[in-house]
């Protein structure tokens, strides 16, 4: 997945399951309404094949696998929590991919925010800690001091120094599988527990994390989350 040319050329090979028919659409962004852009597109696929995400085979034989895009936007205050993906109880599945876009109005200290995964969705705090900061989650370090990059399962696509950021991650090699609903959560900045020195363990209180000067400011956040879901297999349907 990525951009292969200077001005155009966006490609991806994300498997999208369908059973009887499929329809692919293109939509202009609001600021392009009324214009007449040129578009070249190729869409192709195959029928009757098993579908794998890394080592995980999706249970297509159940006829209930669905790929949903959860698109969210929010204005966050410092230390606010933000749910990137939410799946209600009663559904199994896996979080396939996320993209996160942030406009920090004062600094980059929001990158101290930790990532938590709750399965089921109502699992008690702190759930499963996935990363102790944004650069950890997107496979970099120290506020992405190596610049932008594109790797097979992650990348940082935008960080010009004005408080804005965008990045993506595919959970193909480290699947986030759930059996009864789930929730993927990020925080706008984070704190350290003064008594233990540990980060990502407090919902409130503490001191600014990472020893950074200042505090995270308000942030405008947008995210995409592609989530596969299916109905759990009942015990009486399992064959050995």
Residue 106 lies inside a defined structural domain of this protein:
yes
Does position 215 have pLDDT exceeding 80, yes or no?
A: no
Answer yes or no: is pLDDT of 149 > 50.
yes
Q: Write down the pLDDT at residue 80.
A: 93
| DSSP for residue 50 | -
Query: What does the pLDDT look like over 16-29, one tens digit per residue?
Result: 777 777 888 888 87
pLDDT mean over 140-159: 90
The rounded radius of gyration (Å) of the Cα atoms in the chain is 20
Structural domain that includes position 55:
50-235
State pTM to two decimals: 0.85
CA distance 203 to 191: 8
Total of domains in the chain = 1
**pLDDT for the residue 235:** 44
Is 206 inside a domain boundary?
yes
Query: 104-136 pLDDT, tens per residue?
Result: 977 899 999 999 999 999 999 999 999 999 999
Contact 230, 93 (CB under 8 A): yes
**pLDDT for res 238:** 44
Enclosing H/E stretch for 97: strand 92-104
Question: The domain that contains 209 carries what CATH number?
Answer: 2.60.120.1390
Cβ-proximal residues to 219 (8 Å cutoff; 6+ apart), any chain? 75, 76, 102, 103, 104, 105, 110, 188
Q: Could you tell me if residue 29 is inside a domain?
A: no
pLDDT of residue 111: 94
Q: Is residue 41 part of a domain?
A: no
pLDDT at 240 over 60: no
The pLDDT score that the predictor gives to residue 182 is: 97
41-88 per-position pLDDT tens digit: 888 888 888 888 888 888 876 568 888 999 999 999 999 999 999 999
């Amino acid at each position: 997945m990525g951009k292969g040319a200077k001005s155009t050329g966006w490609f991806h090979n994300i498997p999208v399951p369908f059973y009887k028919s499929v329809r692919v659409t293109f939509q202009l962004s609001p600021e392009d309404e009324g214009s007449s852009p040129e578009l070249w597109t190729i869409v192709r696929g195959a029928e009757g094949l098993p579908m794998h995400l890394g080592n995980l085979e999706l249970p297509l034989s159940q006829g209930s696998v669905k790929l949903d895009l959860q698109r969210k936007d929010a204005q966050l205050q410092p230390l606010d929590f933000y749910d990137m993906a939410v799946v209600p109880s009663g559904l199994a599945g896996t979080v396939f991919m996320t993209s996160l876009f942030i406009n920090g109005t004062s600094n980059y200290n929001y990158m101290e925010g930790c990532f938590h995964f709750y399965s089921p969705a109502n699992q008690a705090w702190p759930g499963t800690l996935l990363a102790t900061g944004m650069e950890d989650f997107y496979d970099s370090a120290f506020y992405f001091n190596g610049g932008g990059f594109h790797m097979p399962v992650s990348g940082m696509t935008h960080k010009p120094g004005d408080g804005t950021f965008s990045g993506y991650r595919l959970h193909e090699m480290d699947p986030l599988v759930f059996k009864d609903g789930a929730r993927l959560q990020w925080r706008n900045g984070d704190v350290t527990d003064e008594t233990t020195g540990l980060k990502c363990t407090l919902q409130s209180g503490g001191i600014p994390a990472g020893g950074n000067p200042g505090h995270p400011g308000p942030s405008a956040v947008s995210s995409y989350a592609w989530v596969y879901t299916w109905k759990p297999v009942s015990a009486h349907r399992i064959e050995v």
